[in-house]
Amino acid sequence: MGNGVREGPVEFQRDVEPVTARIPAEDNQEKKKVLNSLMSGALAGAVAKTAVAPLDRTKIMFQGSSRADLSPQEAYRLIYHTYLNEGFWSLWRGNSATMVRVIPYAAIQFCAHEEYKQILGNYYGFQGKALTPFPRFIAGSLAGTTAAMVTYPLDMVRARMAVTPKEMYSSIVHVFIRISREEGLKTLYRGFTPTILGVIPYAGLSFFTYETLKKVHAEHSGRAQPSPPERLLFGACAGLIGQSASYPLDVVRRRMQTAGVLGHTYSSILLTMQDIVREEGLVRGLYKGLSMNWVKGPIAVGISFTTFDLTQILLRKLQHGPGLDR
């Protein structure tokens, strides 16, 4: 009897301790995973957008105007004249506003994508395995929509700074103040609907294409992970497909965002499209700047996906040691 009393508590503690210790460990792992995704996404967005900032500003300027379609030659000519007239760093005008927007946007988008993949994987029974095509597209669309909803006013500010002379807006805060006073707070969400409608196919197809190419690569090459140049190529393909599918809505969004400073009035998506098509034609209007976007877009998306993946791998190796690849 005495021996039984002594052994009982010992056995009870041996059974309970692993259970109580496992729950905090799992919580810590999940927190680390989310933090890694946020940090990797923020870096990916910052690097990619800074690399293509001059081309991005040029595209916004053409989208917001009624000029003819932007060819690569015209784009480079505009960049050169901007450099001569305003200086080298003017090519990155508005990039500070872009960073304020793109860092949280990319962080939220990539982190949300990882979480949505896990949620959909659990729902469809693909735990630990690659999703099938439809859930893969849905995960990307939901990730892009989530990020766009949170950061949209910053996108409006970036667009205004890109198409106006530096004397008009002295800082990001100045843009917010002037828009609020002169046009109303509602203006900060002008163009929000076409943004969301454009993000659904853009983010969905971008993530879908990139994840699909990595999956096909693994099946046919026998290597679990693609090399950095292969990741850049897969990301470029993803950007090309995603941006081409959603480009007309991107033009409409820019027109609505910059209407207040360029002397136009656009009250809805359909009316904006009708005005653009009537004044400039279907292709020249709604696909203005697409030729340059086929240069800028794949570069930006390729850098973004590659930076995210490699940063994730690096952070995991730092935390857990070598041998853990994405």
pLDDT of amino acid 292: 72
**What is the spatial distance between Cα 296 and Cα 97, in angstroms, rounded to a whole number?**
19
User: Which residue bears the tokens 């309970």?
Assistant: 16
User: How far is CA 321 from its chain centroid?
Assistant: 29
Q: For residue 323, what is the enclosing H or E element? A: none
Q: In this structure, are residues 192 and 152 in contact, taking their beta carbons and an 8 Å threshold?
A: yes
DSSP state of 285: H
**What is the spatial distance between Cα 157 and Cα 264, in angstroms, rounded to a whole number?**
17
DSSP state of 264: -
> By percentage, how much of the chain surpasses pLDDT 90?
33
Q: Residue 311: is its pLDDT beyond 90? A: yes
First to last CA, the chain: 55
Rg (CA), the chain: 24
Top pLDDT among 124 and 135 is at: 135
pLDDT in tens, 253-270: 878 877 666 556 666 788
**DSSP secondary structure of 175-214:** HHHHHHHHT-GGGGGTTHHHHHHHHHHHHHHHHHHHHHHH
**Where does 67-171 have alpha helices with state H?**
72-86, 95-124, 133-163
Token couple for 60? 């916004």
**What is the spatial distance between Cα 62 and Cα 254, in angstroms, rounded to a whole number?**
10
pLDDT of amino acid 156: 81
Q: What's the whole-number mean pLDDT along residues 282-308?
A: 86
Nearest to 110 by CA among 174, 177, 47: 47
pLDDT of amino acid 222: 85
pLDDT of amino acid 110: 97
Instruction: Give the Cα-Cα-Cα angle 132, 137, 140 (nearest 5 degrees).
Output: 125
**What is the spatial distance between Cα 199 and Cα 197, in angstroms, rounded to a whole number?**
6
Q: What's the whole-number mean pLDDT along residues 114-136?
A: 84
**Positive or negative: CA dihedral 106, 108, 110, 116:** negative
pLDDT in tens, 71-106: 666 667 777 776 677 777 667 776 776 788 889 999
Nearest to 37 by CA among 313, 295, 281: 313
Domains and CATH numbers, the chain: 65-188 (1.50.40.10), 190-305 (1.50.40.10)
Helix (H/G/I), strand (E/B), else coil: 65:
coil
Mean per-residue pLDDT of the chain:
81
